[in-house]
Amino acid sequence: MKNELLKNEPYKVVESLKKISGDDWVTNDLSQIQGYLYDETEPLLRPEASKDCVVVKPGSPEEISKILEYANEEEISVITRGGGTGVVGGAIPTTASIILSLERLNKVVELDEKNLMITVEAGVTLADLLEVLNNQSELFFPVHPGDEGAQVGGMVATNAGGTKAVKHGIMRNHVKALEVVLPTGKIVNLGGKLLKNNMGYDLLHMMIGSEGTLGIITKVTLRLYAKSKYSGTLIISFNSQQDACNAVPAILQDGITPLAVEYMDRDISNTSAKDLGTTWPASKGSVDLLFILEENNEDELYGNSEKIVEICEKYNAVDSIIAETPKEQRHILEIRSNGYTPYRDNISDALDVAVPPADVPQYFNDIKELSLKYNNHILSLGHIADGNIHNFIMSDNGKLPSYYEELKEEIYKAAIKYGGTVTAEHGTGKTRKKHMNLQFTDDEINIMRGIRAVFDPNKILNQGDIFD
Find out whether 89 and 39 touch, Cβ atoms under 8 Å: yes
Instruction: Establish if 109 lies at the interface with a second copy (CB under 8 A).
Output: no
Instruction: Establish if 327 lies at the interface with a second copy (CB under 8 A).
Output: no
Tell me whether residue 272 or residue 439 sits nearer to a second copy (CB atom).
439
Tell me whether residue 182 or residue 308 sits nearer to a second copy (CB atom).
182
| Stretch of 46-54, 234-242, 327-335, 443-451 lying at the interface with a second copy (CB under 8 A) | 443-451
Instruction: Please name which of 389, 392, 393 lies closest in space to residue 354, comparing C-alpha atoms.
Output: 389
| Stretch of 24-32, 94-102, 351-359, 372-380 lying at the interface with a second copy (CB under 8 A) | 351-359
Instruction: Establish if 314 lies at the interface with a second copy (CB under 8 A).
Output: no
Tell me whether residue 5 or residue 203 sits nearer to a second copy (CB atom).
203
| Stretch of 3-11, 49-57, 143-151, 380-388 lying at the interface with a second copy (CB under 8 A) | 380-388
- β-pair partners for 227: none
Q: Report the nearest approach of a second copy to the CB of residue 197 (Å).
A: 4
Residue 263: CA atoms inside 13 Å, Cβ hemisphere, count?
Answer: 29
With CB under 8 A as the contact rule, the residue among 116, 309, 322, 400 that binds a second copy is 116
With CB under 8 A as the contact rule, the residue among 158, 163, 218, 269 that binds a second copy is 158
With CB under 8 A as the contact rule, the residue among 134, 405, 419, 434 that binds a second copy is 419
Q: How many residues in the chain? A: 468
With CB under 8 A as the contact rule, the residue among 323, 422, 460, 461 that binds a second copy is 422
Tell me whether residue 123 or residue 161 sits nearer to a second copy (CB atom).
161
Tell me whether residue 195 or residue 372 sits nearer to a second copy (CB atom).
195
Site for a second copy in 389-418 (CB under 8 A): none
Tell me whether residue 35 or residue 450 sits nearer to a second copy (CB atom).
450
Instruction: Establish if 357 lies at the interface with a second copy (CB under 8 A).
Output: yes
Q: Give just the sign of the alpha carbon dihedral 379, 435, 249, 341.
A: positive
State how far the Cα of 254 lies from the Cα of 304, in Å rounded to an integer.
Answer: 10
> What is the CA 144 to chain-centroid distance, rounded?
9
Tell me whether residue 184 or residue 242 sits nearer to a second copy (CB atom).
184
Find out whether 406 and 419 touch, Cβ atoms under 8 Å: no
Amino acid letter for position 124: V
Instruction: Establish if 443 lies at the interface with a second copy (CB under 8 A).
Output: yes
> What element of type H or E holds 108?
strand 108-112
Q: Report the nearest approach of a second copy to the CB of residue 384 (Å).
A: 11
Instruction: Establish if 130 lies at the interface with a second copy (CB under 8 A).
Output: no
Amino acid letter for position 155: M
Maximum Cα–Cα distance for the chain, whole Å?
70
Count the site residues for a second copy by CB under 8 A.
91
Tell me whether residue 50 or residue 158 sits nearer to a second copy (CB atom).
158
- β-pair partners for 7: none
> What element of type H or E holds 313?
helix 298-314
Find out whether 377 and 407 touch, Cβ atoms under 8 Å: no
Instruction: Establish if 135 lies at the interface with a second copy (CB under 8 A).
Output: no
Instruction: Please name which of 319, 386, 391 lies closest in space to residue 348, comparing C-alpha atoms.
Output: 391
- β-pair type (97-101, 53-56): parallel
Q: Work out the angle between the directed axes of helices 61-74 and 10-21 (0-180°, nearest 10).
A: 150
Tell me whether residue 94 or residue 246 sits nearer to a second copy (CB atom).
246
| DSSP annotation of 352 | B
State how far the Cα of 371 lies from the Cα of 377, in Å rounded to an integer.
Answer: 6
Q: Rounded to 5 degrees, what are φ and ψ at 159?
A: 50, 60
Instruction: Establish if 303 lies at the interface with a second copy (CB under 8 A).
Output: yes
Instruction: Establish if 434 lies at the interface with a second copy (CB under 8 A).
Output: no
**Residues whose CB falls within 8 Å of the CB of residue 350, separated by 6 or more in sequence, listed in order:** 42, 87, 340, 390, 391, 392, 393
Residue 249: CA atoms inside 13 Å, Cβ hemisphere, count?
Answer: 11
Instruction: Establish if 10 lies at the interface with a second copy (CB under 8 A).
Output: no
Binding mask 242-281 for a second copy (x = CB under 8 A): -------x--xxxxx-------------------------
Q: Report the nearest approach of a second copy to the CB of residue 152 (Å).
A: 17
Tell me whether residue 334 or residue 444 sits nearer to a second copy (CB atom).
444
Site for a second copy in 447-466 (CB under 8 A): 447-448, 450-455, 466
With CB under 8 A as the contact rule, the residue among 8, 34, 279, 296 that binds a second copy is 296
Site for a second copy in 172-231 (CB under 8 A): 172-173, 177, 182, 184, 186, 188, 190, 192-203, 205-206, 208-210, 226-229
Instruction: Please name which of 138, 47, 116, 36 lies closest in space to residue 83, comparing C-alpha atoms.
Output: 36
Instruction: Please name which of 289, 267, 447, 433 lies closest in space to residue 360, comparing C-alpha atoms.
Output: 289
